[in-house]
Amino acid sequence: MSQSPVRPVAAGFAAIGVVTGAAPALAADGLGVGAAAGHATGVASATVVQPLSVRSLSDLDFGSVGDVGAQGGTLVIAPGDPAARYAGAAHPACIVGNANCAGPHAARLRVEGEPGRAYRVVVPESVQAHSAEGEAMAALPVTGLTVRTDSRPQAGAQGVLNHAGGDGFEIGGELRIPPGTEASHYRAQVPVIVVYG
């Protein structure tokens, strides 16, 4: 996904006028007669920067979760943390590392643009994951979507492009599994917007 940056046009205007002596008489056209003429100049400038481009390296994957029964549960994937946190009745459904078992992990994306410029990542607060098997099944909420950039891990969704114009970031979140959730493969679309600033 890429977004062309919208950069403000900076305009600085300086008007300097010095009047000495008595106030001038006004002519019929509104200009002073015999007074020094005032002069104003302005400068307008714009900086055109390389557009940002973003590509996904891996999706946010909550892996395979076992039946939560009547209790329900949650699974949290934090960006920058390789360990998934399970709560309630949520638990891994298989041994991670098994060829048939998807290991939970954060989404990984790469951003490229103007070297040295700051950028920020915008994601929604939550999305709904729907079953691939039919719309009659309940959606699972994915909440608390958070971002961690490689260049500024403590700044959340704000990063800085390196000298080559690149950086990476991760997105994590919390999957809420309501009681009685039916077995299925659930998917959610997470829109990601990256802007300069």
CA distances from 141 to 32, 112, 125, 129, 178 (A): 71, 31, 11, 6, 9
Model pLDDT, residue 94: 82
Mention every residue, 6+ apart, whose C-beta is less than 8 A from residue 78.
85, 106, 146, 172
Task: Provide the whole-model pTM.
Answer: 0.74
Write out residues in the chain with pLDDT < 50, as ranges: 1-31
Q: What's the rounded Cα separation, in Å, for the pair 180 and 13?
A: 66
pLDDT in tens, 24-68: 444 444 445 555 677 788 888 887 878 999 999 999 999 889 889
